[in-house]
């Protein structure tokens, strides 16, 4: 498969931040050797899941070219994002990759009418020459999210509900007819009774508009509900990735197991299991700086090798797991095999 069959191809991306003072300080690897790709002609919902501080947002900034990788490459439609140099090329890229942010009330200025953003986007990306010509484009985008220009026109953000504002935010992203939407925690600030309509919307967009969606979240239940594939992140590394049914129904990596076990079930039948004690990482920086597997300090199945060398990516069935428990050494007893 050549590189151009891929809509998005992240190859061994590494992002390092320098923390501490001018002299001394230390390096924090926020994204650590991350690779994944999305196919060009098969739109899908790809979830990046992980706890706070796992590098999800840094990775999304990388994909939006808001940040350049320290090492590694991000290719969009076969083109390295680092080679985008001038404004018009960047605009062309922005037209194809659009973000949806977490808090709908912070996305829009409270002093500005929400439809103004939609018209601006349409004109800026050349979808229409002026405001009047943009009416059709804007209305189409709003129809796709179940709203109409009539409902939204001349309204300020506070006059719409959280769910509606978030739908307008998705409509804005749709105006330029993107190939990829990056949604960073799009439902965490939306009221519980309106949350599912946003989630359903992404599924509808994938099926009708052929848009791929990267859904960034820590909510595994909604991730299971809508996504096709999932990647679990821990301290900058993808520790397990694969089809969502496989990963969430039968997790392999001990961290994924812990994560799924910790999702509170909305039924009071399994309270005892959920109340079993777990150990938490004290500080994020400590785990980021850990040599070897980042989960070694909390892993119930930890081995000596986990603390020394970074575990390799192991292909098991249809998924990838970054764990020594699954390294294949059949003949000799490997240092990684549990006894």
Partner 1 sequence: MALVSVQDICAYYRTEIYGISRTVRAVDGVSFELNPNEIYGVAGESSCGKTTLIKVISGNIKPPLKVYSGSVNYHFWSHDVDMLHISPEELRDNLRWKEISYVMQGSMSVLNPVRKIIKTFEDIVDTHEGIPDKKKFFEQAREHVNRLGLPTEVLTSYPHQLSGGMRQRVAIALATVFQPSLIIADEPTTALDVVVQRGVLQMIKDIQAMSNNTVLLVTHDMAVHANVADRVMIMYAGRIAEEAPTEIIFNAPLHPYTQHLINSLPMIGERSNKVSLRGAPPSLANPPSGCRFHERCPYVMDICRTEVPELVTVRDGHRVACHLVKENSL
Binding site for partner 1 (CB under 8 A): 50-53, 161-164, 191-197, 199-200, 218-222, 224-225, 248-249, 258-260, 262-268, 270-271, 274-275, 277-278, 280-285
The secondary structure element, H or E, covering residue 9 is strand 6-19
What does the H/E/C string look like for 199-238? HHHHHHHHHHCCCEEEEEECCHHHHHHHCCEEEEEECCEE
Our CB check for partner 1 shows the closer of 123 and 285 to be 285
CA 243 vs CA 43, 138, 250: distances in Å = 14, 35, 11
Q: Which is nearer to partner 1, 45 or 137 (CB)?
A: 45
CA 331 from chain centre, in angstroms, equals 39
CB 265 to partner 1: min, Å:
6
Q: 12 or 271: whose CB is closer to partner 1?
A: 271
Q: How far is the CB of 25 from partner 1 (least distance, A)?
A: 14
Kindly state the smallest distance separating residue 215's Cβ from partner 1, in Å.
13
Closer residue to partner 1 in complex, CB, 83/193: 193
Across the chain, which distance is largest between two alpha carbons, in Å? 73
39 exposure class (CB count in 10 Å sphere: 0-12, 13-18, 19+): middle
Min CB(150)–partner 1 separation in Å: 17
Structure tokens, 114:
């929400």
Asked if residues 311 and 302 have their Cβ atoms less than 8 Å apart, the reply is: no
Cβ-based nearer residue to partner 1, 266 or 338: 266
Nearer to partner 1, 87 or 277 (CB): 277
Considering only CA atoms, which of 97, 332, 134, 100 is closest in space to residue 215?
A: 100
Radius of gyration of the chain (CA): 22
Tokens 């979830």 label which residue? 47
Closest distance of CB 220 from partner 1, Å: 6
Least distance to partner 1, CB of residue 332, Å? 36
Judged on CB neighbours under 10 Å (0-12, 13-18, 19+), 113 is: middle
Nearest distance in Å: CB 53, partner 1: 7
Residue 279 or 315: which CB sits closer to partner 1? 279
């Amino acid at each position: 498969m050549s590189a151009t069959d891929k809509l998005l191809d992240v190859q061994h991306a590494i992002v390092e931040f320098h923390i501490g003072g001018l002299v001394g300080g230390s390096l924090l690897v926020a994204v650590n050797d991350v690779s994944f790709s999305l196919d060009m002609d098969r739109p899908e919902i790809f979830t990046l899941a992980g706890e706070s501080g796992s590098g999800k947002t840094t990775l999304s900034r990388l994909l939006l070219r808001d940040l350049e990788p320290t090492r590694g490459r991000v290719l969009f439609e076969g083109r390295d994002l680092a080679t985008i140099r001038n404004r018009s090329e960047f605009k062309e890229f922005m037209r194809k990759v659009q973000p949806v942010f977490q808090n709908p009330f912070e996305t829009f200025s409270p002093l500005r009418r929400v439809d103004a953003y939609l018209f601006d986007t349409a004109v800026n990306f050349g979808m229409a020459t002026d405001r009047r010509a943009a009416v059709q484009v804007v209305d189409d985008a709003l129809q796709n999210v179940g709203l109409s220009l009539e409902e939204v026109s001349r309204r300020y953000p506070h006059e719409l509900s959280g769910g509606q504002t978030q739908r307008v935010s998705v409509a804005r992203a749709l105006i330029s007819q993107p190939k990829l939407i990056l949604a960073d925690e799009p439902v965490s600030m939306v009221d519980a009774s309106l949350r599912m309509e946003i989630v359903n919307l992404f599924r509808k967009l994938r099926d009708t508009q052929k848009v791929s969606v990267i859904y960034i979240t820590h909510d595994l239940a909604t991730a299971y509900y809508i996504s096709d594939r999932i990647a679990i992140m821990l301290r900058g590394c993808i520790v397990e990735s694969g089809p969502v049914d496989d990963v969430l129904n039968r997790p392999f990596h001990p961290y994924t197991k812990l994560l799924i076990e910790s999702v509170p079930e909305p039924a009071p039948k399994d309270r005892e299991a959920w109340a079993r004690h777990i150990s938490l990482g004290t500080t994020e920086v400590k785990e980021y700086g850990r040599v070897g597997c980042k989960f070694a300090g909390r892993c119930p199945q930890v081995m000596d090798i986990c603390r020394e060398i970074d575990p390799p990516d192991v292909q098991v069935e249809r998924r990838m797991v970054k764990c020594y428990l699954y390294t294949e050494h059949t003949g000799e007893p490997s240092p990684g095999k549990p006894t």
